[in-house]
Copies of this chain bind each other. A is one copy, B any other.
Amino acid sequence: MKKLLLTFTAVALISIGIPASATASVKIVDQAICETEVLDAQQNWCKALIDISTTYAKNGHSEAKALAEQIIDQAYGYQMGTVLFKPTLTTEPQTFRTTSRGALSYFVGGDQKFPDDSGFALKGWTKCEPENAAIFIAGNTASTMGKVHFTDVDGNVTTVDKTWVFFKDDSGQIRIMVHHSSLEYDGQ
């Protein structure tokens, strides 16, 4: 999607009278993130969550776990060395999931090393809706902040406050490098 190698005849040049023979095929490498890529990446995260939920309901834990593993591998940037991940429902001393194993356990549970994880992606989610408050794009990274609304199979909606920082890697893939999710403050 990103590191596209476009070959186009430079239209702008024609408009100022450059002869056709002078137009060239231009190779383009583009590492910047654009807004639609950010919105797509959010939708993809939501879709992945629901896919894991659905797979769990239909095919059981083992298939859901395999899918989650694959999704984390593609959507997060653990291969960069770490990810800054604070899931909604984790507690000390395992609040931050800076390894892919810790992320996997959060989403599908079943890891003795993380005994408190029950598997956030297994909770029967049917809808997942990001609602952005603001976006900050700086070069190869894009930060978003806002609400995300999760609807479960009974129609109950859970809302969290969520910050993501997306990073475009060398191959043009958008990956999550920062993910901070928290329950809404209850005002007490």
Residues of A within 8 A of B (CB): 3, 5, 10, 12-13, 16-18, 22-24, 26-35, 39-40, 43, 46, 79-86, 88-92, 95-96, 98, 116, 127, 129-141, 143-147, 149, 161, 163, 165, 167, 169-170, 177-178, 180, 182-187
Q: What DSSP secondary structure best describes chain A's contact surface?
A: mixed
A96 to B29, CA, bound (A): 16
Chain B proximity of A103: nearest CB distance (Å): 13
How many copies of this chain does the complex contain? 4
Give A14's nearest chain B residue, CB to CB.
Answer: B129
Give A167's nearest chain B residue, CB to CB.
Answer: B138
A24 CB contact (under 8 Å) in B31, B133, B140: B133
